[in-house]
Structure 1
Amino acid sequence: MTLRADRAPPASDPPLTFSLISSCAEAMKTVCAALVLVMLCSLQTTTVAQVISRPADCCLTYYPHAIPLKSIVSYSIIDNNSCELKAVVFNTKKGKKICGNPAHSWVKHHVAEMDKMQYTTKNTTLRQTTA
């Protein structure tokens, strides 16, 4: 068997290396697209699970320090069965919500002072309207 040097390969056949690289690139695109799709689906599932598991108004931890009474605008008490922690949520002038442990003395003091201020404000308003 002799090879003839004067005969060139047909022009329609692409080189083997180009064909292999092209098919690998297509396979990588498909694998990457599948991975992105799987990651997006798992992220969606995780987000939905978190929303269902606890209400948005639950405290996860207590704030470790006392906050100044003058920075508090209002408070609310979270005491329901759907939340793990019972807490007092203080709303600050800066718009932050701070969770306090209802057993701590500073939280009890701030709640009592806020109740006094609300009562005084209501009395002052009533006096002004009746006079």
Structure 2
Amino acid sequence: MSSRHLLVLVGTLVVLGIVSLSEGFNIANSPKKCCFEFITKPIPRGRLTGYYTTSSQCPNQAVLFTTRKNREICANPEEMWVLKYMKYFDGLSRKTSIRF
């Protein structure tokens, strides 16, 4: 194998290594869950156990409610019922986190 072929082979391997590393970093930093559709009707609050918001890296800001059956439901954070439920669950977490 000539030195020119060897140089091309090494250069190709270096480029492939850099590309695969950068793709790995993108996967590691990507959000775990994003929402692309929102539920259109309010869920009975008694069926829910809590909520969390999606990552700022997601294309849509959303609230994910967790149900008693461990399902996650996407909701629009601008809906009034969603804001009320968030406030309710925030109040619960404050009450349980206070210790004397």
Q: What TM-score, normalized to structure 2?
A: 0.64
Pairwise CA RMSD:
1.7
The residue aligned with 1:89 is 64
| Change in 2 beyond 3 A, CA 1:104/1:98 | same
Query: Could you tell me how far apart the structure 2 residues matched to 1:102 and 1:79 are?
Result: 13
Match of 2:46 among 70, 74, 89: 70
**Residue 121 of structure 1 pairs with residue 92 of structure 2:** no
Q: Work out which of the residue numbers 89, 97, 102 in structure 1 matches 2:77.
A: 102
Q: Which runs of 4+ in 1 moved over 2 A?
A: none
Q: Which amino acid aligns with 2:48?
A: I
**Structure possessing the higher radius of gyration over alpha carbons:** 1
Note the residue ranges of structure 2 that are not aligned, 5 or more in a row: 1-26
Distance 1:56 1:122, change over 3 A: closer
Query: Where do 5+ consecutive residues of structure 1 fail to align?
Result: 1-51
How many residue pairs match? The answer is 72
Scaled by the length of structure 1, the TM-score of the pair is 0.50
Indicate the SS of the match to 1:99. strand
Q: Which has the higher contact order (CA 8 A, sep 6+)?
A: 2
